[in-house]
Amino acid sequence: MNAFLLHLWVQVRMDARERGTLLTFYAVPLTFFVVMGAVFSSINPTTKETLAASMSIFAVTMGAVLGAPIPLVKMRESGVLRAYRVSGIPSRAVLFIQEVSAFFHLLLVSAIIFATAPLFFGAGLPRDYTGYFTILLIYIFASIALGLLIGVTARSQSMATMLSQAVFLPSLLLSGIMFPASLLPRPLLWLGRIFPATHAMQSFSVLAYHLKANYSGASALGITACIGMLATAIAVWRFEAAGREELG
Amino acid sequence: MAEAAIRVQGLIKRYGPTIAVNGIDLEVRKGEIFGLLGPNGAGKTTTLECLEGIRKADGGRMTVDGCNPQSDRKELRRRLGVQLQSSSLPDSIRADEAMSLVCAWHGLAPRIDLLKGFGMETSLKKQYHALSTGQKRRLHLALALVGDPAVVVLDEPTAGLDVQGRAQLHDAIRALKAKGITILLATHDMAEAETLCDRLAIMIHGNIAAVGSPAQVTAAGHGETRIIVRTMNGSLLPGRDIGNARFTKVSEGYGEWMCSDAAAAVIDLLRKVQAAGDTVEDLRVERPSLEERFLELVDGGEHE
Protein backbone atom coordinates (compact mmCIF):
# COMPACT_ATOMS: atom_id res chain seq x y z
CA MET A 1 0.00 0.00 0.00
CA ASN A 2 2.87 2.37 0.86
CA ALA A 3 4.42 1.71 -2.53
CA PHE A 4 1.11 2.44 -4.22
CA LEU A 5 0.57 5.71 -2.36
CA LEU A 6 4.14 6.83 -2.96
CA HIS A 7 3.81 6.00 -6.64
CA LEU A 8 0.57 7.99 -6.78
CA TRP A 9 2.23 10.96 -5.07
CA VAL A 10 5.18 10.83 -7.50
CA GLN A 11 2.73 10.58 -10.41
CA VAL A 12 0.78 13.66 -9.27
CA ARG A 13 4.05 15.59 -8.91
CA MET A 14 5.18 14.47 -12.36
CA ASP A 15 1.83 15.58 -13.77
CA ALA A 16 2.33 18.98 -12.20
CA ARG A 17 5.64 19.31 -14.10
CA GLU A 18 4.19 18.16 -17.44
CA ARG A 19 3.11 21.08 -19.61
CA GLY A 20 0.86 18.80 -21.69
CA THR A 21 -0.97 17.56 -18.61
CA LEU A 22 -1.42 21.05 -17.21
CA LEU A 23 -2.77 22.27 -20.54
CA THR A 24 -5.28 19.49 -21.15
CA PHE A 25 -6.39 19.03 -17.55
CA TYR A 26 -6.43 22.64 -16.35
CA ALA A 27 -5.42 25.53 -18.61
CA VAL A 28 -7.58 24.88 -21.70
CA PRO A 29 -10.74 23.69 -19.87
CA LEU A 30 -10.61 26.61 -17.42
CA THR A 31 -9.99 29.12 -20.21
CA PHE A 32 -12.91 27.67 -22.14
CA PHE A 33 -15.01 27.86 -18.98
CA VAL A 34 -14.18 31.55 -18.57
CA VAL A 35 -15.04 32.28 -22.22
CA MET A 36 -18.27 30.31 -22.04
CA GLY A 37 -19.18 31.86 -18.69
CA ALA A 38 -18.43 35.42 -19.76
CA VAL A 39 -19.57 35.45 -23.39
CA PHE A 40 -21.91 32.61 -24.23
CA SER A 41 -24.02 32.79 -21.10
CA SER A 42 -24.78 36.46 -21.82
CA ILE A 43 -25.75 35.56 -25.41
CA ASN A 44 -27.84 32.60 -24.31
CA PRO A 45 -28.87 33.05 -20.65
CA THR A 46 -30.45 29.57 -20.48
CA THR A 47 -26.96 28.04 -20.48
CA LYS A 48 -26.26 29.87 -17.20
CA GLU A 49 -28.49 27.50 -15.27
CA THR A 50 -26.36 24.42 -15.94
CA LEU A 51 -23.03 26.18 -16.62
CA ALA A 52 -21.14 24.35 -13.84
CA ALA A 53 -22.35 20.95 -15.07
CA SER A 54 -21.74 21.59 -18.76
CA MET A 55 -18.29 23.05 -18.20
CA SER A 56 -17.41 20.18 -15.87
CA ILE A 57 -18.41 17.77 -18.62
CA PHE A 58 -16.21 19.70 -21.04
CA ALA A 59 -13.24 19.71 -18.65
CA VAL A 60 -13.60 16.04 -17.76
CA THR A 61 -14.01 14.97 -21.38
CA MET A 62 -11.00 16.98 -22.47
CA GLY A 63 -8.73 15.80 -19.66
CA ALA A 64 -9.76 12.16 -19.78
CA VAL A 65 -10.11 11.66 -23.52
CA LEU A 66 -7.37 13.96 -24.82
CA GLY A 67 -5.03 14.00 -21.82
CA ALA A 68 -5.04 10.49 -20.36
CA PRO A 69 -4.29 8.25 -23.40
CA ILE A 70 -1.02 9.85 -24.64
CA PRO A 71 1.06 9.20 -21.48
CA LEU A 72 0.01 5.53 -21.62
CA VAL A 73 1.02 5.17 -25.27
CA LYS A 74 4.27 7.03 -24.57
CA MET A 75 5.08 4.72 -21.66
CA ARG A 76 4.59 1.69 -23.89
CA GLU A 77 6.45 3.12 -26.89
CA SER A 78 9.47 4.41 -24.97
CA GLY A 79 9.98 1.29 -22.84
CA VAL A 80 8.90 2.82 -19.52
CA LEU A 81 6.50 -0.05 -18.87
CA ARG A 82 9.26 -2.60 -19.53
CA ALA A 83 11.67 -0.70 -17.30
CA TYR A 84 9.03 -0.60 -14.56
CA ARG A 85 8.31 -4.30 -14.99
CA VAL A 86 11.94 -5.41 -14.64
CA SER A 87 12.25 -3.08 -11.65
CA GLY A 88 9.44 -4.95 -9.91
CA ILE A 89 6.66 -2.42 -10.52
CA PRO A 90 3.48 -4.26 -11.59
CA SER A 91 2.05 -3.04 -14.91
CA ARG A 92 -1.51 -3.26 -13.60
CA ALA A 93 -0.56 -0.91 -10.76
CA VAL A 94 0.83 1.56 -13.31
CA LEU A 95 -2.48 1.51 -15.19
CA PHE A 96 -4.46 1.98 -11.97
CA ILE A 97 -2.21 4.85 -10.83
CA GLN A 98 -2.74 6.60 -14.17
CA GLU A 99 -6.48 6.25 -13.61
CA VAL A 100 -6.40 7.49 -10.02
CA SER A 101 -4.14 10.48 -10.75
CA ALA A 102 -6.36 11.48 -13.71
CA PHE A 103 -9.38 11.13 -11.40
CA PHE A 104 -7.73 13.47 -8.91
CA HIS A 105 -6.99 16.15 -11.53
CA LEU A 106 -10.46 15.97 -13.04
CA LEU A 107 -12.14 16.14 -9.67
CA LEU A 108 -10.03 19.18 -8.80
CA VAL A 109 -10.80 21.06 -12.02
CA SER A 110 -14.50 20.20 -11.67
CA ALA A 111 -14.47 21.48 -8.10
CA ILE A 112 -12.90 24.75 -9.27
CA ILE A 113 -15.62 25.13 -11.89
CA PHE A 114 -18.38 24.24 -9.44
CA ALA A 115 -17.11 26.76 -6.87
CA THR A 116 -16.47 29.65 -9.27
CA ALA A 117 -19.33 29.36 -11.77
CA PRO A 118 -22.02 30.84 -9.49
CA LEU A 119 -19.56 33.36 -8.04
CA PHE A 120 -18.21 34.85 -11.26
CA PHE A 121 -20.91 34.12 -13.82
CA GLY A 122 -24.08 33.84 -11.76
CA ALA A 123 -24.51 30.18 -12.72
CA GLY A 124 -27.41 28.27 -11.23
CA LEU A 125 -26.84 26.03 -8.24
CA PRO A 126 -27.98 22.42 -8.39
CA ARG A 127 -31.14 21.52 -6.49
CA ASP A 128 -29.61 18.22 -5.45
CA TYR A 129 -25.95 18.41 -4.45
CA THR A 130 -25.64 14.68 -3.75
CA GLY A 131 -27.05 13.97 -7.18
CA TYR A 132 -24.67 16.50 -8.76
CA PHE A 133 -21.54 14.97 -7.24
CA THR A 134 -22.69 11.38 -7.78
CA ILE A 135 -23.17 12.14 -11.50
CA LEU A 136 -19.85 13.96 -11.61
CA LEU A 137 -17.97 11.03 -10.04
CA ILE A 138 -19.61 8.50 -12.34
CA TYR A 139 -18.92 10.66 -15.40
CA ILE A 140 -15.26 11.13 -14.44
CA PHE A 141 -14.96 7.36 -14.01
CA ALA A 142 -16.58 6.67 -17.40
CA SER A 143 -14.50 9.27 -19.23
CA ILE A 144 -11.21 8.06 -17.77
CA ALA A 145 -12.19 4.51 -18.70
CA LEU A 146 -12.66 5.67 -22.31
CA GLY A 147 -9.34 7.50 -22.17
CA LEU A 148 -7.56 4.41 -20.88
CA LEU A 149 -9.24 2.29 -23.52
CA ILE A 150 -7.88 4.63 -26.21
CA GLY A 151 -4.47 4.58 -24.52
CA VAL A 152 -4.18 0.79 -24.43
CA THR A 153 -5.70 0.28 -27.88
CA ALA A 154 -3.79 2.86 -29.93
CA ARG A 155 -0.55 1.55 -31.44
CA SER A 156 1.03 5.00 -31.66
CA GLN A 157 0.64 8.51 -30.33
CA SER A 158 -0.78 9.79 -33.62
CA MET A 159 -3.33 6.98 -33.60
CA ALA A 160 -4.24 7.85 -30.01
CA THR A 161 -4.70 11.50 -30.95
CA MET A 162 -7.01 10.51 -33.81
CA LEU A 163 -9.12 8.22 -31.63
CA SER A 164 -9.26 10.85 -28.89
CA GLN A 165 -10.52 13.48 -31.33
CA ALA A 166 -13.08 11.02 -32.66
CA VAL A 167 -14.54 10.81 -29.17
CA PHE A 168 -13.90 14.36 -27.98
CA LEU A 169 -15.37 16.41 -30.81
CA PRO A 170 -18.73 14.62 -31.07
CA SER A 171 -18.94 14.60 -27.29
CA LEU A 172 -18.51 18.34 -27.35
CA LEU A 173 -20.91 19.06 -30.21
CA LEU A 174 -23.64 16.45 -29.81
CA SER A 175 -24.05 16.12 -26.06
CA GLY A 176 -25.92 19.35 -25.42
CA ILE A 177 -23.22 21.11 -23.43
CA MET A 178 -22.66 23.82 -26.07
CA PHE A 179 -26.29 24.19 -27.14
CA PRO A 180 -29.47 22.20 -26.45
CA ALA A 181 -29.30 18.74 -28.00
CA SER A 182 -32.97 19.09 -29.02
CA LEU A 183 -31.82 21.52 -31.75
CA LEU A 184 -29.87 18.72 -33.45
CA PRO A 185 -31.25 16.75 -36.41
CA ARG A 186 -32.56 13.36 -35.36
CA PRO A 187 -29.65 11.24 -36.69
CA LEU A 188 -27.13 13.43 -34.88
CA LEU A 189 -29.25 13.31 -31.74
CA TRP A 190 -29.02 9.52 -31.80
CA LEU A 191 -25.34 9.59 -32.73
CA GLY A 192 -24.71 11.75 -29.67
CA ARG A 193 -26.17 9.04 -27.47
CA ILE A 194 -23.16 6.81 -28.15
CA PHE A 195 -21.10 9.13 -25.98
CA PRO A 196 -21.33 9.28 -22.19
CA ALA A 197 -21.18 13.09 -22.23
CA THR A 198 -24.74 13.16 -23.63
CA HIS A 199 -26.05 10.92 -20.87
CA ALA A 200 -24.11 12.81 -18.21
CA MET A 201 -25.64 16.12 -19.38
CA GLN A 202 -29.07 14.50 -19.33
CA SER A 203 -28.45 13.18 -15.79
CA PHE A 204 -27.27 16.57 -14.53
CA SER A 205 -30.31 18.30 -16.00
CA VAL A 206 -32.85 15.90 -14.54
CA LEU A 207 -31.32 14.63 -11.32
CA ALA A 208 -29.21 17.58 -10.13
CA TYR A 209 -31.05 20.62 -11.57
CA HIS A 210 -34.57 19.12 -11.75
CA LEU A 211 -35.03 20.35 -15.32
CA LYS A 212 -37.10 18.72 -18.02
CA ALA A 213 -35.19 16.49 -20.44
CA ASN A 214 -35.70 13.99 -23.24
CA TYR A 215 -35.47 10.83 -21.16
CA SER A 216 -35.06 9.54 -17.62
CA GLY A 217 -32.08 10.90 -15.72
CA ALA A 218 -31.65 7.64 -13.84
CA SER A 219 -31.48 5.69 -17.10
CA ALA A 220 -28.95 8.19 -18.44
CA LEU A 221 -26.82 7.81 -15.33
CA GLY A 222 -27.09 4.02 -15.58
CA ILE A 223 -25.95 4.13 -19.22
CA THR A 224 -22.99 6.37 -18.25
CA ALA A 225 -21.96 3.93 -15.52
CA CYS A 226 -22.36 0.96 -17.89
CA ILE A 227 -20.19 2.66 -20.54
CA GLY A 228 -17.57 3.25 -17.83
CA MET A 229 -17.61 -0.34 -16.60
CA LEU A 230 -17.55 -1.77 -20.11
CA ALA A 231 -14.68 0.49 -21.17
CA THR A 232 -12.75 -0.38 -18.00
CA ALA A 233 -13.21 -4.11 -18.57
CA ILE A 234 -12.08 -3.89 -22.20
CA ALA A 235 -9.16 -1.60 -21.32
CA VAL A 236 -7.90 -3.99 -18.62
CA TRP A 237 -8.37 -6.96 -20.94
CA ARG A 238 -6.50 -5.19 -23.78
CA PHE A 239 -3.74 -4.12 -21.43
CA GLU A 240 -3.26 -7.65 -20.11
CA ALA A 241 -3.42 -9.08 -23.63
CA ALA A 242 -0.79 -6.59 -24.82
CA GLY A 243 1.41 -7.67 -21.91
CA ARG A 244 1.00 -11.32 -22.88
CA GLU A 245 1.74 -10.52 -26.55
CA GLU A 246 4.91 -8.76 -25.46
CA LEU A 247 5.93 -11.86 -23.50
CA GLY A 248 5.82 -13.64 -26.84
CA MET B 1 35.07 -24.87 -10.36
CA ALA B 2 32.75 -22.07 -9.20
CA GLU B 3 29.03 -22.76 -8.86
CA ALA B 4 26.74 -21.60 -11.69
CA ALA B 5 24.79 -18.39 -11.11
CA ILE B 6 22.97 -18.75 -14.43
CA ARG B 7 22.32 -22.05 -16.15
CA VAL B 8 20.63 -22.37 -19.53
CA GLN B 9 19.93 -25.78 -21.05
CA GLY B 10 18.46 -26.23 -24.48
CA LEU B 11 16.80 -22.80 -24.60
CA ILE B 12 14.54 -22.43 -27.63
CA LYS B 13 12.65 -19.33 -28.67
CA ARG B 14 10.70 -18.93 -31.90
CA TYR B 15 8.95 -15.93 -33.41
CA GLY B 16 6.52 -17.53 -35.81
CA PRO B 17 8.60 -19.54 -38.27
CA THR B 18 11.86 -17.81 -37.24
CA ILE B 19 14.02 -19.58 -34.68
CA ALA B 20 15.64 -16.81 -32.64
CA VAL B 21 17.36 -19.08 -30.12
CA ASN B 22 18.10 -22.61 -31.19
CA GLY B 23 18.52 -24.83 -28.13
CA ILE B 24 21.53 -23.14 -26.57
CA ASP B 25 23.37 -24.25 -23.42
CA LEU B 26 25.11 -21.66 -21.29
CA GLU B 27 26.59 -21.49 -17.84
CA VAL B 28 27.65 -18.32 -16.03
CA ARG B 29 29.72 -18.89 -12.92
CA LYS B 30 29.11 -17.05 -9.68
CA GLY B 31 31.02 -13.78 -9.43
CA GLU B 32 32.23 -13.62 -13.01
CA ILE B 33 31.55 -11.12 -15.78
CA PHE B 34 30.25 -13.13 -18.69
CA GLY B 35 29.96 -11.49 -22.08
CA LEU B 36 27.37 -12.38 -24.69
CA LEU B 37 28.49 -11.28 -28.13
CA GLY B 38 26.95 -11.62 -31.52
CA PRO B 39 25.83 -9.68 -34.57
CA ASN B 40 22.40 -8.03 -34.65
CA GLY B 41 19.65 -10.65 -34.72
CA ALA B 42 21.88 -13.37 -33.27
CA GLY B 43 19.48 -13.97 -30.37
CA LYS B 44 21.39 -12.23 -27.56
CA THR B 45 18.58 -9.92 -26.42
CA THR B 46 16.00 -12.70 -26.76
CA THR B 47 18.15 -14.95 -24.58
CA LEU B 48 18.52 -12.19 -22.00
CA GLU B 49 14.80 -11.41 -22.09
CA CYS B 50 13.99 -15.08 -21.41
CA LEU B 51 16.38 -14.97 -18.45
CA GLU B 52 14.81 -11.70 -17.27
CA GLY B 53 11.36 -13.30 -17.31
CA ILE B 54 9.98 -10.76 -19.78
CA ARG B 55 9.81 -13.23 -22.66
CA LYS B 56 8.39 -16.72 -22.66
CA ALA B 57 10.72 -19.49 -23.82
CA ASP B 58 9.40 -22.20 -26.17
CA GLY B 59 11.68 -24.85 -24.76
CA GLY B 60 14.59 -25.61 -22.47
CA ARG B 61 15.37 -24.97 -18.84
CA MET B 62 16.87 -21.96 -17.11
CA THR B 63 17.86 -20.98 -13.61
CA VAL B 64 19.04 -17.61 -12.34
CA ASP B 65 20.55 -17.84 -8.86
CA GLY B 66 18.54 -21.03 -8.38
CA CYS B 67 15.27 -19.45 -9.46
CA ASN B 68 13.23 -20.27 -12.57
CA PRO B 69 12.77 -16.98 -14.44
CA GLN B 70 9.77 -18.28 -16.35
CA SER B 71 7.71 -19.29 -13.34
CA ASP B 72 9.14 -17.46 -10.28
CA ARG B 73 9.03 -13.91 -11.60
CA LYS B 74 8.39 -12.34 -8.20
CA GLU B 75 11.36 -14.09 -6.63
CA LEU B 76 13.42 -13.32 -9.74
CA ARG B 77 12.98 -9.57 -9.20
CA ARG B 78 14.70 -9.94 -5.81
CA ARG B 79 17.63 -11.90 -7.19
CA LEU B 80 18.17 -10.36 -10.59
CA GLY B 81 18.92 -6.76 -11.50
CA VAL B 82 18.26 -5.79 -15.10
CA GLN B 83 19.40 -2.94 -17.29
CA LEU B 84 17.48 -3.21 -20.54
CA GLN B 85 18.88 -2.36 -23.96
CA SER B 86 16.07 0.06 -24.66
CA SER B 87 14.31 1.35 -21.63
CA SER B 88 13.26 4.70 -20.37
CA LEU B 89 11.53 6.48 -17.54
CA PRO B 90 8.90 9.22 -17.66
CA ASP B 91 10.50 12.49 -18.82
CA SER B 92 9.44 14.42 -15.76
CA ILE B 93 10.47 11.94 -13.06
CA ARG B 94 13.45 13.03 -11.00
CA ALA B 95 16.37 10.68 -10.36
CA ASP B 96 15.68 10.56 -6.62
CA GLU B 97 11.96 9.96 -7.24
CA ALA B 98 12.71 7.07 -9.58
CA MET B 99 14.92 5.55 -6.89
CA SER B 100 12.26 6.06 -4.19
CA LEU B 101 9.64 4.51 -6.43
CA VAL B 102 11.57 1.34 -7.25
CA CYS B 103 12.70 0.99 -3.63
CA ALA B 104 9.12 1.36 -2.41
CA TRP B 105 7.94 -1.45 -4.67
CA HIS B 106 10.79 -3.58 -3.26
CA GLY B 107 9.69 -2.66 0.29
CA LEU B 108 12.93 -0.75 0.92
CA ALA B 109 13.87 2.74 2.06
CA PRO B 110 15.18 4.91 -0.81
CA ARG B 111 18.75 3.84 -1.76
CA ILE B 112 20.13 7.28 -2.54
CA ASP B 113 23.54 5.82 -1.62
CA LEU B 114 23.45 3.88 -4.90
CA LEU B 115 22.94 7.05 -6.92
CA LYS B 116 25.72 8.79 -5.01
CA GLY B 117 27.92 5.76 -5.57
CA PHE B 118 27.49 6.25 -9.31
CA GLY B 119 28.45 9.91 -9.08
CA MET B 120 24.93 11.31 -9.35
CA GLU B 121 24.90 13.44 -6.18
CA THR B 122 24.41 16.63 -8.19
CA SER B 123 21.76 15.10 -10.46
CA LEU B 124 19.36 13.77 -7.83
CA LYS B 125 16.80 16.51 -8.48
CA LYS B 126 17.24 16.51 -12.23
CA GLN B 127 14.33 15.31 -14.33
CA TYR B 128 14.96 12.27 -16.51
CA HIS B 129 14.82 14.22 -19.78
CA ALA B 130 17.54 16.56 -18.51
CA LEU B 131 20.01 13.76 -17.70
CA SER B 132 22.82 12.97 -20.13
CA THR B 133 22.89 9.54 -21.80
CA GLY B 134 25.62 8.44 -19.39
CA GLN B 135 23.64 9.63 -16.37
CA LYS B 136 20.54 7.82 -17.62
CA ARG B 137 22.55 4.60 -17.98
CA ARG B 138 23.98 4.99 -14.49
CA LEU B 139 20.52 5.71 -13.10
CA HIS B 140 19.15 2.53 -14.70
CA LEU B 141 22.14 0.58 -13.37
CA ALA B 142 21.54 1.98 -9.88
CA LEU B 143 17.85 1.01 -10.13
CA ALA B 144 18.89 -2.51 -11.15
CA LEU B 145 20.89 -2.81 -7.93
CA VAL B 146 18.14 -1.71 -5.55
CA GLY B 147 17.44 -5.16 -4.10
CA ASP B 148 21.14 -6.10 -3.81
CA PRO B 149 20.73 -8.75 -6.52
CA ALA B 150 23.14 -11.66 -6.84
CA VAL B 151 23.02 -11.44 -10.63
CA VAL B 152 22.87 -8.42 -12.92
CA VAL B 153 22.04 -8.49 -16.62
CA LEU B 154 23.32 -5.57 -18.67
CA ASP B 155 22.17 -5.34 -22.27
CA GLU B 156 24.55 -3.11 -24.22
CA PRO B 157 25.07 -0.74 -21.28
CA THR B 158 27.67 1.46 -22.98
CA ALA B 159 26.03 1.82 -26.40
CA GLY B 160 25.96 5.48 -27.41
CA LEU B 161 28.20 6.65 -24.57
CA ASP B 162 31.22 8.89 -25.04
CA VAL B 163 34.69 7.69 -23.99
CA GLN B 164 34.43 9.19 -20.52
CA GLY B 165 30.95 7.80 -19.90
CA ARG B 166 32.07 4.40 -21.10
CA ALA B 167 35.09 4.42 -18.77
CA GLN B 168 32.89 5.44 -15.83
CA LEU B 169 30.45 2.65 -16.54
CA HIS B 170 33.30 0.13 -16.91
CA ASP B 171 34.56 1.17 -13.49
CA ALA B 172 31.06 0.72 -12.10
CA ILE B 173 30.83 -2.76 -13.61
CA ARG B 174 34.23 -3.71 -12.18
CA ALA B 175 33.08 -2.42 -8.77
CA LEU B 176 30.05 -4.71 -8.96
CA LYS B 177 32.26 -7.69 -9.74
CA ALA B 178 34.48 -6.78 -6.77
CA LYS B 179 31.36 -7.07 -4.59
CA GLY B 180 30.85 -10.63 -5.84
CA ILE B 181 27.91 -9.85 -8.12
CA THR B 182 27.61 -12.03 -11.19
CA ILE B 183 27.26 -9.99 -14.37
CA LEU B 184 25.90 -11.10 -17.71
CA LEU B 185 26.81 -8.48 -20.27
CA ALA B 186 25.60 -8.31 -23.86
CA THR B 187 27.75 -6.07 -25.99
CA HIS B 188 28.83 -5.25 -29.53
CA ASP B 189 32.05 -3.71 -28.29
CA MET B 190 34.87 -6.25 -28.64
CA ALA B 191 37.37 -4.14 -26.70
CA GLU B 192 34.85 -3.88 -23.88
CA ALA B 193 34.33 -7.64 -23.88
CA GLU B 194 38.06 -8.30 -23.99
CA THR B 195 38.88 -6.01 -21.08
CA LEU B 196 35.85 -6.62 -18.85
CA CYS B 197 34.79 -10.21 -19.30
CA ASP B 198 36.20 -13.26 -17.54
CA ARG B 199 34.48 -15.47 -20.10
CA LEU B 200 32.29 -14.88 -23.09
CA ALA B 201 30.15 -16.60 -25.65
CA ILE B 202 29.64 -15.64 -29.28
CA MET B 203 26.10 -16.22 -30.57
CA ILE B 204 25.36 -16.57 -34.27
CA HIS B 205 21.96 -17.39 -35.77
CA GLY B 206 20.59 -18.46 -32.38
CA ASN B 207 23.47 -20.83 -31.62
CA ILE B 208 26.55 -20.55 -29.45
CA ALA B 209 29.50 -20.52 -31.85
CA ALA B 210 32.28 -20.16 -29.30
CA VAL B 211 32.63 -19.98 -25.53
CA GLY B 212 35.58 -19.45 -23.19
CA SER B 213 37.85 -16.72 -21.88
CA PRO B 214 38.57 -13.92 -24.39
CA ALA B 215 42.07 -15.38 -24.87
CA GLN B 216 40.70 -18.92 -25.41
CA VAL B 217 38.08 -17.78 -27.89
CA THR B 218 40.65 -15.71 -29.79
CA ALA B 219 43.23 -18.51 -29.82
CA ALA B 220 40.73 -21.04 -31.13
CA GLY B 221 40.54 -19.25 -34.46
CA HIS B 222 42.45 -19.85 -37.66
CA GLY B 223 43.86 -16.34 -37.65
CA GLU B 224 47.56 -15.92 -38.11
CA THR B 225 49.94 -13.79 -36.04
CA ARG B 226 51.14 -10.59 -37.66
CA ILE B 227 54.83 -9.63 -37.28
CA ILE B 228 55.85 -6.10 -38.19
CA VAL B 229 59.55 -5.19 -38.29
CA ARG B 230 61.57 -2.11 -39.19
CA THR B 231 65.34 -2.19 -39.25
CA MET B 232 67.95 0.58 -39.36
CA ASN B 233 69.28 -0.32 -42.84
CA GLY B 234 66.17 -1.96 -44.25
CA SER B 235 67.92 -5.28 -44.69
CA LEU B 236 64.64 -7.23 -44.72
CA LEU B 237 63.24 -5.21 -47.59
CA PRO B 238 61.95 -5.27 -50.28
CA GLY B 239 60.72 -8.42 -48.51
CA ARG B 240 60.17 -12.12 -49.10
CA ASP B 241 58.99 -15.19 -47.21
CA ILE B 242 61.38 -16.14 -44.42
CA GLY B 243 61.06 -19.59 -42.86
CA ASN B 244 57.39 -20.18 -42.10
CA ALA B 245 56.61 -16.43 -42.18
CA ARG B 246 54.75 -15.26 -45.26
CA PHE B 247 55.65 -11.77 -46.42
CA THR B 248 52.56 -9.68 -46.99
CA LYS B 249 53.48 -6.04 -47.51
CA VAL B 250 55.83 -3.16 -46.89
CA SER B 251 54.67 0.20 -45.63
CA GLU B 252 56.69 3.23 -44.49
CA GLY B 253 59.80 1.14 -43.96
CA TYR B 254 57.96 -1.56 -42.07
CA GLY B 255 57.83 -5.11 -43.44
CA GLU B 256 54.86 -7.26 -42.50
CA TRP B 257 54.80 -11.06 -42.27
CA MET B 258 51.99 -13.44 -41.33
CA CYS B 259 52.66 -16.77 -39.66
CA SER B 260 51.10 -19.49 -37.56
CA ASP B 261 54.19 -20.11 -35.38
CA ALA B 262 55.16 -16.66 -34.13
CA ALA B 263 58.16 -17.72 -32.03
CA ALA B 264 59.90 -19.55 -34.86
CA ALA B 265 59.18 -16.77 -37.33
CA VAL B 266 60.54 -14.05 -35.03
CA ILE B 267 63.75 -16.07 -34.51
CA ASP B 268 64.15 -16.53 -38.29
CA LEU B 269 63.62 -12.82 -38.93
CA LEU B 270 66.06 -11.72 -36.23
CA ARG B 271 68.70 -14.15 -37.51
CA LYS B 272 68.31 -12.63 -40.95
CA VAL B 273 68.75 -9.11 -39.55
CA GLN B 274 71.79 -10.16 -37.51
CA ALA B 275 73.36 -11.88 -40.52
CA ALA B 276 73.00 -8.65 -42.53
CA GLY B 277 74.73 -6.68 -39.74
CA ASP B 278 71.57 -4.64 -39.36
CA THR B 279 69.72 -3.51 -36.17
CA VAL B 280 66.04 -3.85 -35.33
CA GLU B 281 64.40 -0.45 -34.73
CA ASP B 282 60.86 -1.65 -34.07
CA LEU B 283 59.35 -5.10 -33.74
CA ARG B 284 55.66 -5.79 -33.13
CA VAL B 285 53.93 -9.15 -32.76
CA GLU B 286 50.15 -8.89 -33.02
CA ARG B 287 47.96 -11.85 -32.16
CA PRO B 288 44.60 -12.01 -33.92
CA SER B 289 42.18 -9.85 -31.90
CA LEU B 290 38.82 -10.92 -30.50
CA GLU B 291 37.26 -8.75 -33.17
CA GLU B 292 39.04 -10.68 -35.94
CA ARG B 293 37.98 -13.97 -34.34
CA PHE B 294 34.43 -12.64 -34.07
CA LEU B 295 34.38 -11.65 -37.73
CA GLU B 296 35.84 -15.02 -38.69
CA LEU B 297 33.01 -16.77 -36.84
CA VAL B 298 30.33 -14.45 -38.19
CA ASP B 299 31.59 -14.77 -41.77
CA GLY B 300 31.74 -18.57 -41.33
CA GLY B 301 28.18 -18.49 -39.98
CA GLU B 302 26.98 -16.36 -42.89
CA HIS B 303 28.43 -18.79 -45.40
CA GLU B 304 26.91 -21.87 -43.76
Of B15, B77, B87, the CB nearest to A88: B77
**Mean pLDDT, to the nearest integer, of A44-72?**
91
Which among A117-131, A132-146, A181-195 has the top mean pLDDT?
A132-146
* % pLDDT > 70, chain B: 98
Kindly list the strands in the beta sheet with B59-64, ordered across the sheet, starting from the edge strand earlier in the chain: B18-29, B4-15, B59-64
Closest chain A C-alpha to B162 CA, distance in angstroms: 22
**Chain B CB contacts of A89 below 8 Å:** 101-102, 105
Distance (Å, rounded) from C-alpha A146 to C-alpha A166?
Answer: 12
Reported as a single tens digit per residue, the pLDDT across B176-223 is 999 999 999 999 888 899 899 999 999 999 999 999 999 888 877 777
Q: Is B211 helix (H, G, I), strand (E, B) or coil?
A: strand
Give me the residue from A80, A246, A248 closest to B15, CB to CB.
Answer: A248
Measure in Å the smallest separation between the Cα of A69 and chain B Cα atoms. 14
Q: Which of B13, B48, B58, B91 to mutate to test the interface with A (most CBs of A within 10 A)?
A: B91
Model-level pTM greater than 0.95?
no
- Does B87 contact A6 at a Cβ distance shorter than 8 Å? no
The tens digit of pLDDT for each residue in A171-209 reads 988 888 887 777 888 888 888 889 999 999 999 999 999
Q: What is the pLDDT of residues A15-56, one digit of tens each?
A: 999 999 999 999 999 999 999 888 877 777 777 888 999 999
Cα gap B75→B88, rounded to integer Å: 23
- Cβ separation B89–A83 shorter than 8 A: yes
Check residue B297 and give its pLDDT: 83
Cβ-Cβ contacts under 8 Å between A and B: the total is 77
The pLDDT of residue B304: 46
Q: Looking at the complex, does the CB of residue B104 fall below 8 Å from at least one CB of chain A?
A: yes
Amino acid at A246: E
Q: Does the beta-carbon distance from A79 to B82 stay under 8 Å? A: no
Give the pLDDT confidence score for residue A247 in this predicted structure. Answer: 67
Do A7 and A86 meet the contact criterion of CB atoms below 8 Å apart? Answer: no
Among the partner-chain residues B127, B143, B144, the one whose CB lies closest to the CB of A17 is B127
Is the pLDDT reported for residue B78 higher than 80?
yes
Average pLDDT, chain B: 89
Q: How far apart (Å, rounded) are the C-alpha atoms in residues B6 and B143? A: 21
Interface of B with A in 160-189 (CB under 8 A): none
pLDDT of residue A248: 67
ipTM entry: 0.85
Helix (H) or strand (E) holding A152: helix A129-153
Interchain CB distance below 8 Å, A79 and B101: no
Structure confidence by residue, pLDDT tens digits, A91-119: 889 999 999 999 999 999 999 999 999 99
Stretch A155-159: mean pLDDT, rounded? 93
What residues of B are in contact with residue A72 (Cβ under 8 Å)?
Answer: none
Q: Which residues of B touch A245 (CB under 8 A)?
A: none
Mean pLDDT over residues B70-90, rounded?
A: 87
Closest CB to A10 among B15, B88, B101: B101
Q: Strand, coil or helix: what is A207?
A: helix
Q: Name the residue facing A7 among B82, B89, B101 (closest C-beta).
A: B101
Nearest residue on chain B to A243, judged by CA atoms?
B54
What average pLDDT does range B273-277 have in this prediction? 91
DSSP string, A43-93: HSTHHHHTHHHHHHHHHHHIIIIIISHHHHHHHHHHTHHHHHHHTT--HHH
